Structure 1
Amino acid sequence: MDNTTVYPIGTLGQPWGDAEHLAWRNQTTIKRQYQDEVVPKILALAAQFDVSQYGALSYDTARYPLYCIKSRNWDAAKPTVLITGGVHGYETSGVHGALKFMATRAAEYQDAFNIIAAPCVSPWGYETINRWNPNALDPNRSFYENSPAEESASLIQLVATLGEVLVHFDLHETTDTDESEFRPALCARDGKEYEPDVIPDGFYTVADTLNPQNEFQAAIIQSVEQVTHIAPPDDNGNIIGAPVEQHGVIYYPMVELGLCGGVTQCVYGTTTEVYPDSPSVTDEECNDAQVAAIVGGLDFVLRQPR
């Protein structure tokens, strides 16, 4: 690939300045409606759960309220489960998979756990089908103190109210556009050379390097295998450049990279990665894979001695 033509904004080898950031933002467009596709599903759950607003994005506070969905009769004696979706707004099943779990399966687990879901952390990204926020910041590299990404900062503030979190599911997708758009844009923004990689064909999870919980990850993989296929390693034994540690599982240092998966000090944590561009899966099967991941993980945790 000719890296001089990878991305149309910026100059090869030079990080973006204000003009390039503005040019990037100006080429974004609204492609779908958060208020039509997501908010009604959230509010409909108020019949079963406590639904509340934990913030709003300053880009348009009326258009982009941030909601969470919580178990009723929250009990400090129960362990807490956090589900996050749409940290990357363009990863559709992260949003709708979280909502489907809450609508169809969460009630089964409320006797054992407090459950809280933030199903669409980045609604501007959802609408524009973008990995970044309007300031060309990646919310999923911005989970740290004094975060410059308000999507991340708002979720950090919410998590601070929860006390200890035992389990965290952060629901994501890896899409073909990661290579055709988002990684080239990242390299252009940072003035780096773009080196193409391979998009994995199938589902996988990302565990925390410092606390991988391999049996927990395996239980998730086994559950998801009932819904969709698991990504094999590439010719180098990697998935997205990271060594495959066990079937369908790679490790990332969550806190070091500012990932949402490091926003709690949970015992059991996973970042799910659905592959929606496979010709063998439907959008609903992608949502079902996210639900299966949560169910498999929670069933595993319930089997552990306490």
Structure 2
Amino acid sequence: MTTPPSAYPIGTPGLPWGAAEVASWLSRQTRKRGYGEVLAAIERLRTDFDVEEYGQLDYQGERYPLVALRSRGWRDDLPVGLVTGGVHGYETSGVLGALQFVERHGSDYAGRLNLLVAPCVSPWAYERIQRWNMHAVDPNRSFRADSPAQESAALMGLVAPLRERVLVHVDLHETTDSDESEFRPALAARDGKPYEPDEVPDGFYLVGDSADPQPAFQQAVIEAVARVTHIAAADADGRIIRSPMAAPGVINYPVAELGLCAGVTRARYRTTTEVYPDSPRTTAEQCNAAQVAAVRAALDFALQRGGGR
């Protein structure tokens, strides 16, 4: 794990950021890759799936279409499976895993499940390999009424007509060494709070909903992913990222209360994946494959058990 700086280079310790600090932070953000590569991958899937633009970001004149894939031949009598990736733009396998799932396995669910896949919820952050959006707001704490994040508000608008019909939702994420070397120190500085170092778990884990944890569902996903990459162990206190481990590789959060993407629907089965791409025990390809395995296991379990609200 990279040791974080003793003091974040922006702001005054103990004081939350104002407009000047946000502007200073923004000035440090540079484009490192292109969202066009994601749009091109989506375009290649148009032969078998419907492509829908559900919004557009306009950040200082830079426009980013927000695009989702839908099952062709959508049927109102079928349940909905929702897959989201790239809510945090730096979490690469969430984006690539979602696209890989649609390309290789999406057609397997035709006639059984309507698929709705938003592979890159935060394209500005994707380009900058960043957690926050342009306004230093975390989209994955912003899925709530009057959201401060355009990305989150747009996705909520897309999902709103289907909210009661979604059977399963898989939100694809990563936990990286940069969480401790950059993003959590930046968060503490932004909020005027002390930074408290934590341990980055080595391996894959899931975050379920503490209000409806569905342990058998979470376990089915863990078992499928364990065939692809290793599962994170608890730390010395029996925790993963400061949360008690509910089962091997599983912790639970109050997802709706925290404004997390996993709380955007009332799906019976919902989970957030967390892949660890910085581990010496895995590869980028395995991380993508782990995301795909998680989605497939989640959809298969939900279809087998049913139980929509």
Q: TM-score, normalised by structure 2?
A: 0.96
Structure 2 counterpart of 1:141: 141
**C-alpha separation in 2, matches of 1:61 and 1:290:** 33
Q: Which residue of 1 aligns with 2:298?
A: 297
Cα offset, 1:61, TM superposition: 6.9
Alignment pair present for 1:171 and 2:172: yes
Q: What SS does structure 1 have at the residue aligned with 2:135?
A: coil
Is the 2:5–2:181 contact (alpha carbons within 8 Å) kept by the matching residues of 1?
no
Distance (whole Å) between structure 2 residues aligned to residue 282 and residue 162 of structure 1: 36
Distance 1:3 1:43, change over 3 A: closer
**Are the aligned partners of 1:3 and 1:193 in contact in 2 as well (CA < 8 Å)?**
no
Q: Equivalent pairs: percent with the same residue?
A: 58
User: What is the match of residue 47 of structure 1?
Assistant: 47
Cα deviations by residue, 1:181-207 (Å, 9 ceiling, x for unpaired): 000000000000000000000000000
SS of residue matched to 1:216 = helix
Equivalence for 1:285: 286
Residue 62 to residue 70, structure 1, CA distance change in 2 (3 Å): farther
Is this contact kept in 1: 2:88–2:132, CA < 8 A? yes
Whole-angstrom distance in 2 between the partners of 1:40 and 1:280: 31
Flag as ranges the 4+ runs of structure 1 deviating above 6 A. Answer: none
CA contact (8 A) 1:90 1:126 kept: yes
User: What is the aligned partner in structure 2 of residue 124 from structure 1?
Assistant: 124
Structure 2 equivalent of residue 225 of structure 1: 226
Question: How big is each residue's C-alpha offset from its partner over 1:108-165, in whole Å with a ceiling of 9 and x where there is no partner?
Answer: 1122100010000000000000000010000000000010100000000000132421
Residues 263-300 of structure 1: per-residue CA shift (max 9 Å, x gap) = 00110000000000011211111110000001111221
Q: Pick which of 102-111 and 118-127 moved more.
A: 102-111
Measured after TM superposition, the shift of residue 4 of structure 1 is: 8.5
Could you tell me which runs of 5 or more consecutive residues in structure 1 were left unpaired when the two chains were aligned. none
1:90 deviation in Å?
A: 0.4
**1:159 is the counterpart of 2:182:** no
User: Conserved in 2, the CA contact under 8 Å of 1:56 and 1:62?
Assistant: no
Aligned AA for 1:185? A
Match of 1:242 in 2: 243
Q: d(CA) in 1 for partners of 2:180 and 2:159?
A: 32
**Distance in 2 of aligned mates of 1:26 and 1:266:** 39
> Does structure 1 conserve the Cα–Cα contact (< 8 Å) formed by 2:4 and 2:180?
no
Alignment of 1:1-306 (within 5 A): 5-35=6-36, 37-59=37-59, 63-163=63-163, 164-304=165-305
The answer on whether the counterparts of 2:143 and 2:260 sit within 8 Å (CA) in structure 1 is: yes
Which deviates more from structure 2 when the two are superposed, residues 260-269 or residues 159-168?
159-168
Distance 1:61 1:71, change over 3 A: farther
**Matched-pair contact (CA < 8 Å) for 2:29–2:128:** yes
Aligned counterparts of 2:214 and 2:31: Cα–Cα separation in 1 = 39
Per the TM alignment, residue 3 of structure 1 is displaced from its structure 2 partner at its CA by 9.2
Query: How many positions carry a matched residue from both structures?
Result: 305
Q: Secondary structure at the match of 1:198?
A: coil
Equivalent AA in structure 1 for residue 287 of structure 2? C
TM-aligned CA distance change 1:77 to 1:3, over 3 Å:
closer
1:215 aligned partner, one-letter code: A
Shift of 1:169: 0.4
**Secondary structure of residue in 2 paired with 1:166:** strand
Q: 1:283 to 1:305 in 2, by over 3 A?
A: closer
Helix, strand or coil for the counterpart of 1:132? coil
Asked if 2 retains the 8 angstrom alpha-carbon contact of 1:3 and 1:194, the reply is no
* Cα distance in 2 for residues equivalent to 1:125 and 1:264: 23
1: distance between equivalents of 2:5 and 2:200? 22
1:189-234 alpha-carbon deviations (Å, 9 max, x no partner): 0000000000000000000000111000000000000100000000
Deviates more, 1:173-182 or 1:61-70: 61-70
- Partner Cα separation in structure 2 for residue 165 and residue 304 of structure 1: 14
| Cα distance in 1 for residues equivalent to 2:129 and 2:300 | 33
Moved more, 65-74 or 292-301: 292-301
Q: How much has 1:6 moved relative to structure 2?
A: 2.7
Tell me the C-alpha RMSD between the 2 structures. Answer: 1.6
8 Å Cα contact 1:87-1:139 kept in structure 2: yes
